[in-house]
Amino acid sequence: MWEKRKKLYYVPGLISAVFVPIIFYCKKPEIKQQVAINFYLPSDKPYQPYSSNNLLRELNRKKIFTIALDKNHQQNERKLEFIRHEARKILYYNDVSTTIKVSFSNETNYGEIVALLNIMVSDEHKRYGLIGNDFYIFFE
């Protein structure tokens, strides 16, 4: 008379009831740190060793590679790779008589400047600076 029915379990609902809290527990939100980049430009007082006048006087005795970043942004990417290659080469050979000068134009965008700073930080260059519209990479 009374037939025995099979019990139906809602399997996707059980899976989500078990695994959703586990997933939320594992995927906690990460605390993100904000980083601010501050540029401190040297003043032009003559008694400071790292003033722009003293640096320009020091540059008169060195061989300077000049690379200009212009409005062609695809070519600027290749120029940045060339800058990285030359900077690494000069660091490897410990060449203190050579300096790389990167000239910025009005069309140079913020991404290219940040890419240049990333090259300096990732390759652990110790001396570099901005004088006017020119970025100099010095070697020790």
Q: pLDDT tens digits, residue range 43-72? A: 544 555 567 777 777 778 888 889 999 888
Q: Band the pLDDT of 124: cuts 50, 70, 90.
A: confident
In single-letter form, the type of residue at position 23 comes to I
Whole-angstrom Cα distance, residue 43 to residue 45?
Answer: 6
Element (H, E) at 130: strand 127-131
Residue with tokens 């997933």: 23
SS3 assignment for 69-113: ECCCHHHHHHHHHHHHHHHHHHHHHCCCCEEEEEEECCCCCHHHH
Whole-angstrom Cα distance, residue 55 to residue 53?
Answer: 5
- Identify the CA nearest to 101 among candidates 115, 86, 123: 86
Mean pLDDT of 112-117: 91
Distances (CA, A) of 96 to 7, 87, 101, 108, 129: 83, 12, 14, 28, 16
Q: Band the pLDDT of 78: cuts 50, 70, 90.
A: very high
CA angle 124, 128, 133 (to 5 degrees): 140
pLDDT value at 137 more than 60: yes
**Parallel/antiparallel/unpaired status of strands 127-131 and 134-138:** antiparallel
* CB 95, CB 140: distance < 8 Å: no
pLDDT value at 92 more than 80: yes
pLDDT value at 115 more than 70: yes
In single-letter form, the type of residue at position 133 comes to N
Give the pLDDT of residue 38: 64
